[in-house]
Amino acid sequence: MHHAGRLPRLVPTFQRPMNSPMNFKPLLVAIALAASSLAAQAATVSLTAAVPSKVGQGVDLLVSVSDPFAGLSPDEQLLSFGFGLSYDASRLAFAGFTVAAGWDDDSGWLGAGQFGGSSFPGMANHGQATLLLGTLHFDALQAGSTLVGVATDASNLNQGLSFLWSDTQPLTASLNLMTSAVPEPASLLMATLGLAAVGLTTRRRIGSK
């Protein structure tokens, strides 16, 4: 009911004219951001043996990342990493994991078979070609080849390469480790005696001339 002499308040409505062009700028920005996110997934994780593996000796495997900040913004930081480990326990005995300099070891609270580290503040983007995460330590039990792998469980928030601004990247790598046998002491002694005999024979021949 309206009072006399008072008109009802009208709420103006605005409609885009039918021939008005659409603004595609937000759509283009979203596409560009998606493309940059895909381009950022360029980091490559690798496992490498520090020295040749021999039965009865320790072997260290370096866990490193190539181009960790490829495609990411200059102010990006790598905050943490985590992974699960797989190996053949009949050929290798696990002896521990050591994080590289600059990382705090978080392995103790990640759970069995999981390893990782964090940095506060994070590792800054200096255009590093390679970034060492840590070293896996094993004792070689048998000669031959064996597969060692690190992998990320997508459902585990503690695993992968975690950045300050970008999405988490997977941390996955494998290595076919070759382990050589060490000669038995008796065999080594026989080989030494054989070389000594050859040397003595050669000296006698030279002396007789």
Domain boundaries, position 87: 42-187
Residue 13 lies in a domain: no
- pLDDT tens-place string over residues 59-75: 999 999 999 999 999 99
Residue 168 lies in a domain: yes
Domain at 58, CATH number: 2.60.40.680
In sequence order, what are the residues at sequence separation of 6 or more whose Cβ sits closer than 8 angstroms to the Cβ of residue 22? none
Closest C-alpha among 108, 192, 87 to residue 97: 108
Q: Using CA atoms in the order 9, 11, 17, 20, what is the torsion angle rounded to 10 degrees?
A: 130
Residue 162 lies in a domain: yes
Q: Is 140:179 a contact under the CB 8 Å cutoff?
A: yes
Residue 28 lies in a domain: no
Closest C-alpha among 54, 45, 191, 58 to residue 131: 45
Residue 23 lies in a domain: no
- Overall domain count for the chain: 1
> For every one of its 209 residues, what pLDDT tens digit does the chain have, with 9 covering 90 and above?
544 555 455 444 435 445 545 454 444 434 444 444 444 455 899 999 999 999 999 999 999 999 999 999 999 999 999 999 999 999 999 999 999 999 999 999 999 999 999 999 999 999 999 999 999 999 999 999 999 999 999 999 999 999 999 999 999 999 999 999 976 554 444 555 555 555 555 555 556 65
Calculate the alpha carbon distances from 64 to 68, 75, 194 in Å.
Answer: 9, 21, 45
The token pair at 203 is 């000296």
Q: Which amino acid is at 179?
A: T
Residue 122 lies in a domain: yes
- pLDDT tens-place string over residues 167-209: 999 999 999 999 999 765 544 445 555 555 555 555 555 566 5
Residue 91 lies in a domain: yes
Helix then strand then coil, in percent of the chain rounded to 5, is 20, 40, 40
Please tell me the predicted confidence (pLDDT) of residue 10: 46
Interatomic CA distance for residues 177 and 62, integer angstroms: 12
Residue 37 lies in a domain: no
User: What pTM value is reported for the model?
Assistant: 0.71
